[in-house]
Chains A and B, each alone.
Chain A
């Protein structure tokens, strides 16, 4: 195991490498110095958190399953980021488990479904059954909250924020904590 390098040392090494070789082959050998996380790393962190601020009705949602499933529906943009974000996390002692699914009907065992960009064209058909199943739908598809989804992750400049469609969560029988509503940039009450 290598001894960890301090950022200052790394920076010095990067410059030294540059100056002496004149070429940026140094790229490979240097770890990034505290890089900004990617948007999907932050979105994964949101998915790990939302469950704490939502109350599911007793009958709806997964009944037999002991785990708290966070599902990704569509082409997975997270990679290992979601697994890392959920690892070791629990909600009411149920471990958070990432699942990748390809069809909406596989979502009945999910508490939260993140619908990826690839599903944009099928949104209209997939949202009503998910709503009926009492699943919290989250997505970064443009206009998701306006199109009947529940939580839309939006990029505001370089920051990831979210909008909430309260009408949709109400139809699904979900109760959102006031803290969540307070932090949402937009709360839609109709549609």
Chain B
């Protein structure tokens, strides 16, 4: 048959066949869904009938993931990515897993770097999203964004990732302007035994995960893990292939129930990696810039302690403290940072109708930013950021079980901007157990970072006459502010079908702008100076619609559509000519995804994700559709064999502008993995 196909098909058609077949293979399951969909097996329930309590307690069950009931009563746009979702998606990193959440814009810049945003403002720096791993804030005070390439843990150990779209400032702290990503790992009580997972493929060339956990079956549990991976470069049309990436990481966690009421968790991680980077280096004489492809050295670690006392009656007191160390040596910059943080939270079930949460925290971050190239300089090159916060929030049941009001505020004091308030009011109406409506008004603030305050960068503009543009942080830049209006609706049509709609209208003010100054001469060169000001304002509006359908107990389909409209403008007096268009054009207007997770049998699963992302004009990225698929077979409890294909619908596609340089194509890739646990 293959012979016939080859001779009959024209060369052109022959080239297109694999692609067409791949696309067809992807959509067929989606198209024929209702045919013979499995119903819950009534015979199964009958078999359970004859069992004693003792026997029931020994039956292994599959847990129904994503019970819709758990989110229907949250007055915010929340999405929870479960461990099951992460495994089924075939994600090999946290950013990939974030693609599962609607309204989160995730673009791979190259093999190492990511650009992530929530409801707009997607960028390598993803400035306005607060990211926490077990309560530890992982954004860098350097630019108030996240270096995603070093945020990692054993993906198997993640219990869930809560993604809050929209301002989460009241409880979560500074810079949670556009959203919060809260990564929660499993208690070591739930990770007993050994786990080894190894695999490799065309881009994820090799990886090895190891974990061992245990406990005394009473009050103490522990685990430790180690992992390493080697990623190859993505597609570069000019064959520069600079972006290979290797990293090793290890860590531990202990959970100790000190008394009946007190529990203490101590955990830590250490990592070390080498990433291939490309950097633009400016030379002053002659005025020019060249691109240097060189390795960066990325390492760091953290140690965290979390103490919780159950005060009874639903109240508790928690204290968390951590130390975090970051070492980054890159081709054109370096950062060495120590962060100390302590937070106290008191959850107080004040009465039947009122639930109070209040707390306070302090963070001290000491950054050393030594000069690597003379055209990228922090002045001063060391800085201490202090952040103090105090928050209180009251959840009031106006009509118990039907109408709840949540009001609160955070008061923030940063060493560079003084006091900022982040109040929030949220209302939740649940007319029936199958419906809920919510609405919220929140103010959120992003405080200035080192990059805006103290960085001076120099870039050549022309050689004759020698001209440079120079951006200088002069500490006049103040906090960016946002006033967010949100409303949402959730409907549980039946236990198998649910919808979730979240809408938003955000007003931003005092956004960062680059304001030109008067050119001057320095050492025979013309300098076009720029300073950081708060010259941009504007609005974003949009919605995310999510539908979740379980045609049968072994099949889940989820579709989501996110629409975003950004409308920024210069404030009177602002002469910034680029920021508005470069920001608006860097987030997709449409983002659609369709997932299908099927258990073919108790031993066999098949998962697919198709996603469409519209064009990013400012990044020269065209719209694309691509898809991932994963087939896994677990013959018994101990083994799992899986093959995952990623970005299957084209040989490569770009997702975000090169950093710096031409677009990097994200390759179609396949990897296989074997997991053993005991």
Query: Which residue numbers of A lie inside 8 Å of B, CB to CB?
Result: 10-11, 14, 22-42, 44-46, 48-49, 53, 74-77, 79-81, 84-85, 89, 102, 116-119, 121-122, 124-125, 147, 155, 157-162, 179-180, 183
CA distance A125 to B352 in the complex (A): 6
What residues of chain B lie closer than 8 Å to A76, measured between beta carbons?
A: 495
* Residue ID in chain A nearest B44 by CB atoms: A37
Is B73 an interface residue, CB under 8 A from the partner? Answer: yes
Whether, in the assembled complex, B433 has its beta carbon less than 8 Å from a beta carbon of chain A, the answer is yes
For A117, give its contact among B70, B600, B604, B606 (CB under 8 Å).
B70
Shortest beta-carbon distance, B467 to chain A, in Å? 59
Residues of A within 8 A of B51 (CB): 45
A183 to B55, alpha carbons, bound, how many Å? Answer: 10
Question: In whole angstroms, what is the CA distance A24 to B26 when docked?
Answer: 9
Give chain B residues whose Cβ lies under 8 Å from the Cβ of A121. Answer: 73, 355, 397, 401, 404
CB proximity of B638 to chain A, nearest CB, Å: 14
Which residues of the other chain, A, contact B190 by a CB distance below 8 angstroms?
A: 157
Stretch at the interface among B30-38, B283-291, B449-457: B30-38
- CB closest residue in chain A, given B31: A25
- B residues 37-73 near A (Cβ < 8 Å) are 37-38, 40-42, 44-46, 48-49, 51-54, 56-64, 67-70, 72-73
Q: A29-B35, A81-B40 are in contact. Are A45 and B602 (CB under 8 A)?
A: no
Binding site for A on B (CB under 8 A): 25, 28-29, 32-33, 35-38, 40-42, 44-46, 48-49, 51-54, 56-64, 67-70, 72-73, 190, 313-314, 349, 352, 355, 397, 400-401, 404, 432-434, 492, 495-496, 553-555, 598-604, 606, 631
Give the docked Cα–Cα distance between A7 and B339 (Å). Answer: 58
Residues of A within 8 A of B28 (CB): 23, 25
Please name all residues of chain A whose beta carbon is closer than 8 Å to the beta carbon of B69 when the two chains form the complex: 74-75, 77, 116-118
Q: A41-B44, A79-B40 are in contact. Are A158 and B49 (CB under 8 A)?
A: no
* Structural contact, B35 and A28, CB atoms closer than 8 A: yes
A36 contact from B25, B36, B37, B60, Cβ within 8 A: B60
Q: B52, B64, B555: which contacts A27 (Cβ < 8 A)?
A: B555
**Would you call B554 and A32 a contact (CB within 8 A)?**
yes
A180 x B53 contact (CB < 8 A): yes
B314 touching A35, Cβ below 8 Å: no
Is A39's CB under 8 angstroms from B604's CB? no
Looking at the complex, which one of A35, A45, A116, A183 makes contact with B54 (CB distance below 8 Å)?
A183
The answer to whether residues A84 and B46 also contact, given A14-B600, A24-B606, A36-B602 and a CB cut-off of 8 A, is yes
Task: Judge whether B602 and A118 touch: CB under 8 Å.
Answer: no
CB distance from A168 to the nearest CB of B (A): 14
- In the complex formed, the residue of A with least CB distance to B631 is A24
Question: B35 touching A35 by the CB < 8 A rule?
Answer: no
8 Å CB contact of A49 from B33, B56, B61, B602: B56
A29/B36 in contact, CB under 8 A: yes
Q: Residue of B at shortest CB range from A103?
A: B401
13 A-B pairs (CB sep. < 8 Å): A14-B600, A25-B29, A32-B41, A32-B599, A32-B602, A35-B602, A42-B61, A46-B56, A79-B496, A80-B40, A118-B433, A122-B397, A160-B59
Are A74 and B600 in contact, with the CB atoms below 8 A? no
Bound complex: CA of A80 vs CA of B46, how far in Å?
12
| B352 and A124 form a contact (CB under 8 A) | yes
Question: Complex: how many Å from CA A157 to CA B229?
Answer: 29
In the docked arrangement, what's the CA distance between A11 and B51, Å?
27
Q: Which residue of A lies closest to B351 (CB)?
A: A124
Q: Which of A24, A46, A75, A183 contacts B600 (CB 8 A)?
A: A24
